[in-house]
Homo-oligomer: A and B are copies of this chain.
Amino acid sequence: MSDLPKFVKVHEEGPREGFQIEPGPIASARKVEFIEALAETGLKQIDCVSFVNAQKVPGMADAEEVIRAVRRKPGVRYTGLFLNTRGLLRALETPADIVGAIRVTASETFCIKNTGMNHEQTLAEQRRYLEIYREHKVPVEWGYVMTAFGCNYEGFISTDRVCLMVQQLLETAAEAEVSLQGIYLCDTVGWGTPLAMERAIGAVRERWPDLPLALHLHDTRGTGLANAYAALRLGIAQFDATCAGLGGCPFAGHKGAAGNICTEDLVFMCHEMGIETGIDLEKLIACAHLAEEIVGHPLPGKVQRAGSLAHFREKLGASA
């Protein structure tokens, strides 16, 4: 009937996605408090900060301070994002768990508008990255296909194009004698539908049946968890998500409306379908409440408002 995985890995991106988009200043101590609370839920990877230009992203000016202040729980990785060599070198000076990645964008128009580089230049940049990773002994894990399901400039992305991106990522890694753990397909700007997930995953699977795939989804138009479910049915077992849907905002006109899928909603759906995540949903819901308190406005997550089904089950005992 389906290939639902037995265990799903969830990478938490809330601190980075959320705090970089919030307009008001948030005390570094509160960011640290949130990251430490997330680490107690069973999440094994938390993206904490961005090592980006503080002029452009004021919310990340305290990246070093935050990542240095976090009390580290063994077995948890505290990662940081970097978008250029300068950022990587900054990150390497901190206790952040630096994970190397290579990235291409399926929509070349989006790539040019977003980074100023065309596709060929982007590939060359990834080769340079792989050299820097080797030089600094940074482990390289996943390749990323951005805008894998569509973009506002080029519309839908064909599965042929997605497969070409996957091929080039694998080849680029192989040239550098790096073996990628797998490929992330990213719905960068919210064009994905469940059917689009099935088509893209199906096309990549047909060519690389054993290549692990993971998804980075945004809930821009409400289909986020439906997209995740379509992928779960095909055995996809790794997702990025943000606690409380951080990065999004329920207020009309707010730029952050297009947040990531919500971690606790995804975890709830998985658990209720018998899929383990290693995450304590109640603790995660408490983190979502903390996130709302810290940002000072409602966040889009649903389970944090409705609550899980655990307390009903407790009352019911074994009968539920």
Listed in ascending order, the chain A residues whose CB lies under 8 Å from chain B are 1-2, 4, 150, 152-156, 190-191, 193-196, 198, 219-223, 225-226, 228-230, 250-254, 257-258, 262, 265, 268-269, 272-274, 289, 292, 298, 300-306, 308-309, 312-313, 316, 319-320
Contacts and interface: CB of A to CB of B under 8 A. Distances in A.
Nearest to A288: B252
A206 to B, nearest CB: 13
Interface residues of chain A: helix, strand, loop or mixed (majority): loop
A190 B222 contact: no
B258 A222 contact: no
Given A223-B268, A226-B269, A272-B193, A252 B305 contact: yes
A298 B250 contact: yes
Contacts of A196: 272
A94 B220 CA distance: 41
Interface pairs A-B: 5 shortest CB-CB = A155-B320, A222-B265, A222-B302, A250-B250, A226-B229
A194 B316 contact: no
Nearest to A232: B194
Given A156-B320, A222-B225, A265-B223, A191 B309 contact: yes
A14 to B, nearest CB: 15
Contacts of A195: 4, 272-274
Contacts of A312: 152-153, 155
Nearest to A250: B250
Given A298-B251, A320-B155, A222 B269 contact: yes
A222 B257 CA distance: 16
A292 B155 CA distance: 29
Contacts of A316: 153-155
Contacts of A193: 269, 272-273
A28 to B, nearest CB: 25
Contact of A225 (B1, B223, B250): B223
Given A221-B302, A250-B250, A268-B221, A313 B155 contact: yes
A221 B154 contact: no
B306 A257 contact: yes
7 contacts: A152-B312, A155-B313, A193-B272, A221-B308, A223-B265, A223-B269, A254-B305
Contact of A222 (B262, B273, B289): B262
